Amino acid sequence: MTNKLEFYRCSVCGNVVQVLLDGEGELFCCGEAMELLKPKTTEGDMGEYHVPVFMHDDEKGTFIQVGKEPHPMTEEHHIEFIQFISEDKKCTGLHYFGSGEEPKMYLNKSVGNQKKCAVEMCNLHGLWKGENDEY
């Protein structure tokens, strides 16, 4: 059984997929069941540079930033993407990043003033999740 918006990874080839709609079956890749990726929500002793945080800029509006401290954006260690998810899971947005780019995602005003969540993936440290409780 898979659930909407879950992430799965193939431990053989590294493929990462996301479920668009719930399903009864199990996902396979390279002949093996794919691993469900569960996002981490607390940093522990790694520093505070992975959990997505919601910030506000008077000119550009609300944006998602990866971590309270800047995350490295080198070829070897970087943020692959940020995904915004509305609380009702009816609206999502995905922004990919390359090395050298700043991992920030500005939100369109059409997403409304509801509680929001964001996930991000670091190529070395996996999937992380943060929430915005302001609304």
Identify the burial level of 63 via C-beta atoms within 10 angstroms of its C-beta, where 0-12 means exposed, 13-18 middle and 19 or more buried: middle
Binding-site residue total for Fe ion (CB under 5 A)?
Answer: 2
Which range binds Fe ion by CB under 5 A, 11-19, 27-35, 92-100, 114-122?
114-122
- Give the residue with the Cβ less far from Fe ion, 98 or 112: 98
Q: Is 66 in the site for Fe ion (CB under 5 A)?
A: no
- Closest approach, Cβ 38 to Fe ion, in A, equals 17
Torsion of CA 86, 67, 80, 88, to 10 degrees: -10
Q: Is 118 in the site for Fe ion (CB under 5 A)?
A: no
- Give the residue with the Cβ less far from Fe ion, 33 or 46: 46
Question: Which of 91, 125, 126, 131 touches Fe ion (CB under 5 A)?
Answer: 125
25: phi > 0 → left, psi -120 to 50 → alpha, else beta; which?
A: beta
| CA-closest candidate to residue 129, choices 46, 42, 48, 55 | 42
